[in-house]
Structure 1
Amino acid sequence: MTAPDSHSQDGLEAQFAQWRQYAHRRPELRQSDTEELEDHLRGSVDELIGIGLRADEAFLVAVKRMGGLDDLSREFAREHSERLWKQLVLTGETDGPAADTRKRRDLLATVICVAGAAMSVKLPELFGMGIEEDAAFYGRNLGLFALPWLAAFLAWRRKAVPALAGVLLALFAAGAVAANVYPLADDSQSAVLTGIHLPIALWFAVGLAYVSDDLRSSRRRMDFIRFTGEWFVYLSLIACGGGVLMGIVFGTFEAIGITPDTFIAQWLLPCGGVGAVVVAGWLVEAKQSVVENMAPVLARLFTPLFTAVLLAFLVAFALTRGGIDVEREALILFDLLLVVVLGLLLYSISARDPLAPPGLFDKLQLALVVSALIIDVLVMLEITGRITEYGTTPNKAAALGENIILLANLTWSAWLVLGFVRRRAPFAALERWQTGYLPVYAVWAWIVALVFPPLFGYL
């Protein structure tokens, strides 16, 4: 029996995606319930396709095999009576002693990892390195103080196999080499590039821990994208609360004649900062029933604004006919702009109903992606011209590589969004493209952090 064609597979993935979105919105179901049900459903669908059923037929039969109707499936059938899954069953287990035990274990693991991160950031002081005196060292190693502990928490929660745990240890060890073994001057371009790219590379190592329960799954990669957005939101909120806490500590103790500057600078800020990285991850895991809420809302809010800014920039560029400054600060700014555009696209994708027809917001996203694509081409032309005329530097080489990677992503993304807007391509194809492209960013970040410094003589 031949495998289903790409169109049938896209339709099947779209049905799974809508099923998953509905399940995530149900307070009766926890993330583990949804994942277990989907695994059973996918396995049954694959078996039925293997014996000759079409993808849509296999999906309907698999849903029926899951059992009889209950109140939740009846509600789903009423809301989606035109869909195939009129007899969907969602019978998640209720909270009980087992769930309470798991929550306590998660909390204990979080406390251990937070304590580990706090000890990591204080450990260099045993070797005579102070936070204020050796700020460059702490800046390069900031990700190594916190992210290994977040990865450890996620790997423990996913029951990662020993082989994967070994890979994670090797990746963080490679990061430690890039940050501490290479002879990088504090003001060198290589030091700046390492400081920017190493945390990104380490974050993808965290992503590997996150998807360790299903390494090849496109949906798990999209879940990690959602996790990243919600983690950033939670971390920002914790940072705001931490700022208020430090202000209160300073004000109250100063009122009684005690100046807590040393405590805040040496203990509260560094230990609380690295601990917050782990706590934010735990909060996202603990609140998975509301995942997708914040980041997609912000994406929908800022997509029109960034589209207007990019279009205004292109108009101004055409009117002034001036060149683009490709010095280090400008390169970082333009790369950051393109990353923000990509983030807006990703988080809009993560919360969208894949079966919904294209609308005004999709056309707005197309304008955003095309505008970013044009800016990317302009920046690449400037960088290429400067390299041809003056030679290459670590900054220009890194920026050129990043723009090439983003150019490939944005070009195909624009094509897929255009096809969707014109109703000639399914939305699921865009989601699969973005999740499949994630390893490219990870590989490039590691190349810049590990290969560029010796390649350019640690300049």
Structure 2
Amino acid sequence: MTVDSNERLESQIGEWRSYMRRRRELHKTDAEELEDHLRDRITELHEAGLSDDEAFLIAVKRMGSLDELSREFAREHSERLWKQLVLPAEPDAPAAARTRRELPVMILCAALAALAVKLPGWLGASMDDDDSASFYLRNLSLFALPPLAGYFCWQRRAGWRTIAAVAALFVVGAVAANAYPLGGSTDPEDEPTQSLVLTAIHLPLALWLVVGIAYTGGQWRSDRRRMDFIRFTGEWFIYFSLLGMGGGVLTAFTAGVFNAIDIDPEDFISQWLLPCGAAAAVIVAAWLVEAKQSVIENMAPVLTRVFTPLFAVVLLAFLGGVVWTARGIDVERDALILFDLLLVVVLGMLLYSISARDPAAPVGLFDRMQFVLVVSALVIDALVLAAITGRITTWGFTPNKTAALGENLILLANLGWSAWLLIGFVRGRMPFARMERWQTSYVPVYAAWAWAVVLLFPPLFGFE
């Protein structure tokens, strides 16, 4: 932080302080406490890579959710603050310099991810070859995630220990995906083996959390850094989805314009545009989240607030239907995947509402709505577990049923304790910070389970 930058930041804080002290309803001690809170938030944002002006703007914005006076200050000074955000005070501002420095590295990593998709084809594993379908299914996450982890290791200036740990975990994942005889029939009409499907589902989850180690710069034990990665994951998913929709439009136009001149672009689209574009988009989406963090950092929590009441109504209606019809839950594989995805979405909405909530804010209607959502999901999880247990008792253990049983037990534990913490918070008996610590502390449990399914399940069930 330069001297001029520090003076400008102190001037902004001084203006905010003067505004606070002019309000008769605010005692001096309260103003000092709010200022300490503001400075802590600015420091955290500055450490995350934001410029002083950006950090001040976002900190004041977040303070607005804590206190009406800060909200009024943000409204009265919005024009000047937004100009500081959009128009850097100096052409060589730290944020702009950082973006220029990171752009070529991002392009390089995106190119590596795109080339990684094509490399197996150059070695004989064609995407159109049915014999190679199982190879791509197992290794899909190994094309783009290593370059993404490398990008974050470079960006965070990770130490050699962190780099070595991240690289070793990717090697372990690659060995498990390719050394195990996971099967995969040469007949396209045959179903892939359960071990192959489970590896294809769980290896990306395991490796994504390895990316989290790189994202945190090796500080994975920090609750705050794990929550930062959770926020990043939500925003990354939104950006990746937007890029995917844009890519769909590009693909449609490409097909249309070339077909108009009797040139068939199908091979180019299927062999280059779609696979290479998807792999590169993984890196580009991550760069966009980092580059635009100060502007759109609250997109996932906003969507959470929109959909939490809707999901709560749907789950309550579903439970009402179960009671009315007295029917159990179908535990076929597709139904299990659907219910597990539903429970994961509920936990995701809980996580992103936690990430944007100020722990000091009082209990509101949205907190009670979240409690209803979590309890409804907890009841559904218990019904799914009862159905899975019944099938296992009748037909015995299989890789799919065992994986489903373990995942639903893990979700049950998370949802159950989350419901307990939420009811304690709603009744004023527990601080909200305990909920955040619980969720961030539970992330390694998901990582351990994903790795267990990838490494232990195939040999445990005879690679069936």
Scaled to the shorter chain, the TM-score interval is 0.7 to 0.9
Q: Which residue of 2 aligns with 1:7?
A: none
1:22 Cα offset (Å): 6.1
Task: Please state if 1:288 is matched with 2:298.
Answer: no
Q: Which residue of 2 aligns with 1:175?
A: 173
In 2, the alpha carbon distance for the partners of 1:348 and 1:253 equals: 46
Deviations 1:63-95 (A, max 9, x none): xxxxxx9xx99x979x95999xxxxxxxx9965
Deviations 1:79-137 (A, max 9, x none): 95999xxxxxxxx9965537344222200110110111011101001221111213332
1:49-448 mapped onto 2 (5 Å cutoff): 97=92, 99=94, 100-133=96-129, 134-186=132-184, 187-212=192-217, 214-448=219-453
Structure 1 portions without partners, runs of 5+: 1-13, 39-68, 84-91
1:15 Cα offset (Å): 8.4
| Residues 320, 158 of structure 1: alpha-carbon distance in 2 compared, 3 angstrom cutoff | same
Deviations 1:322-363 (A, max 9, x none): 222112111111111110110010111111122111111111
Greater relative contact order (CA < 8 Å, ≥ 6 in sequence):
1
| Residues 17, 227 of structure 1: alpha-carbon distance in 2 compared, 3 angstrom cutoff | farther
SS of the equivalent of 1:375 reads helix
SS of the equivalent of 2:174 reads helix
Structure 1 counterpart of 2:235, one-letter code? E
Higher alpha-carbon deviation: 127-136 or 236-245 = 127-136
In 2, the alpha carbon distance for the partners of 1:388 and 1:190 equals: 21
Check conservation: 1:143, 1:202, Cα contact below 8 A: yes
Cα RMSD of the aligned pairs, angstroms, is 3.2
Q: Which residue of 2 aligns with 1:32?
A: 49
1:292 Cα offset (Å): 3.2
| Residues 304, 212 of structure 1: alpha-carbon distance in 2 compared, 3 angstrom cutoff | same
| Residues 136, 371 of structure 1: alpha-carbon distance in 2 compared, 3 angstrom cutoff | same
* TM-score normalised per structure 1: 0.81
Check conservation: 1:158, 1:213, Cα contact below 8 A: no
Structure 2 counterpart of 1:166, one-letter code? A
Check conservation: 1:24, 1:289, Cα contact below 8 A: no
Higher alpha-carbon deviation: 126-135 or 393-402 = 126-135
In 2, the alpha carbon distance for the partners of 1:104 and 1:126 equals: 33
In 2, the alpha carbon distance for the partners of 1:213 and 1:227 equals: 16
In 1, the alpha carbon distance for the partners of 2:264 and 2:113 equals: 26
How many residues were matched structurally?
405
Check conservation: 2:50, 2:294, Cα contact below 8 A: no
In 1, the alpha carbon distance for the partners of 2:231 and 2:36 equals: 14
In 2, the alpha carbon distance for the partners of 1:291 and 1:201 equals: 27
Check conservation: 1:184, 1:191, Cα contact below 8 A: yes
Check conservation: 1:226, 1:291, Cα contact below 8 A: no
Higher alpha-carbon deviation: 391-400 or 131-140 = 131-140
Structure 1 counterpart of 2:181, one-letter code? P
SS of the equivalent of 1:32 reads coil
Identity %: 59
SS of the equivalent of 2:140 reads helix
Deviations 1:359-414 (A, max 9, x none): 11111100000011111111111211221222101011101111111111111100
SS of the equivalent of 1:307 reads helix
Check conservation: 1:30, 1:288, Cα contact below 8 A: no
1:161 Cα offset (Å): 0.7
* TM-score normalised per structure 2: 0.81
Structure 2 portions without partners, runs of 5+: 1-32, 71-84, 185-191
Check conservation: 1:218, 1:432, Cα contact below 8 A: yes
In 1, the alpha carbon distance for the partners of 2:416 and 2:340 equals: 16
